[in-house]
Structure 1
């Protein structure tokens, strides 16, 4: 007998739509810009991650099933699988494309929300303009996040293989265990990463909008209350620093972190997952009387100054590290980006 699943599928779709609607309302009430767009990006990243993780897991499972035994698979097949970079490359393509799209869009939305005169009457490429450090963040963090996710995925697989070896499982028993594990059922992981990373890009885009905004003088941390608030994030509420300086956050582990914004990449997952903190822009009262043209000119000036500063630091880094030729390597970009902000933390760049 054929079972009609129409009503079930419809109910699932309604549930997902309601969850997205609730999330949109939550983000809007918390002060995030472009809430509907943000929820859309979260869904698109989640779906894309689901696809590549599922494809990778299925391929792993098929290769396990083809093996003669667990010991043979661990010694012969696993080393090659572990060192393959297909998953990392696929993840990088997802993050690079989505982060670039979101970062530029969110930056414009933040400026539009806080100082619309700066971007009125502009169009085309000017709408998407971001600084070189922002471009480096997109490329570098896309690569680093892909590397981390790939390693975590391979670690989960290896732990399952070692468990199978220890318990003397057959290949069929191993395959069944893989099917019931998080290796195959990664929906929660995809959703968590999509949400965390989209809100992370929101934070960095808000920081970028302040750099471009001549009226922005300083930034203030704003804690967003939740069902399970972090006490150390509550303590951050109201902390104010110059817009290009670092907040000082004491982690749950007691360590002190100097961070550019909420969900800074230097923070551990326990400080970023499910964090909805944002920042508030504190305006320079002396600049309030500027004309729209003056604001636009200053925006262009600030962007040019930051770009010049970053290019000089990038060249210094390459000289110090002996990098002679340009390298399209996200890991190098990430090293340069982090060294740039580490210099800020140490006061080497004023």
Structure 2
């Protein structure tokens, strides 16, 4: 590939990314999300960081797999494979590169939401339960992502041995795995970015005297929407109470306590229900 062809390809790739971000902005704005420019900027920062972590993980996994093949003529046990995979640094790399961006998203959204509510947000006022929930999720997120990758790598290694694909075939399979893909980076960035948006708005609402309740809003326009999420559209709960999401308790959409099936690619959000005396024209 000549230099001009490479530059043209790079420009096309950058245009695709820009179009994706513009489309995401349109979706979030149409759905009624606030602070969309800030949110999309943070999602992009997370996506880049996650993609770099995944690419580093791919290189580490490839080294481990190559070493396993060189030492084992027969397929190693699953226990042996997982023992070797534990040696890589995915969890720490993810925590160092990505978690600070998610924290920034939470704090900046909470501060902006507090301004809109004519109040102030303080991390010092977060409840112990909220702090524990956030710390727990930030610890579990890389662990869950790593486990998903480990499962896929184990399957790929066993397949390579069983079908005589050899190390070259396995390398090819690893390079095509969605676990190391930019798509995974983007999907994770969007899910966790929106989750921290929800958490930030929720905590700002909890600290505002003007907020009496929270209203769940479902975002239309997506194929095969979750019926339970659709059914919640317009549902209001008192501040501090939970939504019932398909049988699971949730403080807000994309609450980390929800299972993956209720979180991934969810674009629902909440808006505050204000005390009448704080509405325009009322007394404060």
**Same fold per TM (> 0.5)?**
yes
Render the CA deviation track for 1:207-229: whole Å, top value 9, x for unaligned: 10111110101111111112322
Query: Which structure is larger by alpha-carbon Rg, 1 or 2?
Result: 1
**Which of 99, 102, 109 is the matching residue for 1:99?**
102
Structure 1 residues not aligned, in runs of 5+: 120-125, 251-255, 292-350
> 1:65 corresponds to which residue?
66
Distance 2:194 2:249 in 1: 19
> 1:257 corresponds to which residue?
248
Distance 1:249 1:268 in 2: 10
1:158 aligns with 2:160: no
Superposed displacement of residue 177, structure 1: 2.4
CA contact (8 A) 1:99 1:138 kept: no
Superposed displacement of residue 21, structure 1: 1.8
Distance 2:193 2:146 in 1: 19
> 1:231 corresponds to which residue?
227
Superposed displacement of residue 171, structure 1: 2.3
**Which of 268, 272, 278 is the matching residue for 1:277?**
268
Distance 1:290 1:93 in 2: 47
Using structure 2 for the length normalisation, give the TM-score.
Answer: 0.87
Distance 2:112 2:198 in 1: 12
Superposed displacement of residue 235, structure 1: 0.7
CA contact (8 A) 2:205 2:272 kept: yes
1:145 aligns with 2:146: no
**Which of 199, 207, 216 is the matching residue for 1:221?**
216
When residues 194 and 59 of structure 1 are mapped into structure 2, their CA distance, relative to the original with a 3 A threshold, is same
> 2:23 corresponds to which residue?
22
Query: CA-atom RMSD, angstroms?
Result: 2.4
> 2:8 corresponds to which residue?
7
Q: Across the two proteins, how many residue pairs are aligned to each other?
A: 277
CA contact (8 A) 1:61 1:175 kept: yes
**Which of 164, 167, 170 is the matching residue for 2:163?**
167
Distance 2:173 2:12 in 1: 30
Superposed displacement of residue 33, structure 1: 2.0
Distance 2:101 2:133 in 1: 13
Structure 2 residues not aligned, in runs of 5+: none
CA contact (8 A) 1:219 1:281 kept: yes
1:176 aligns with 2:172: yes
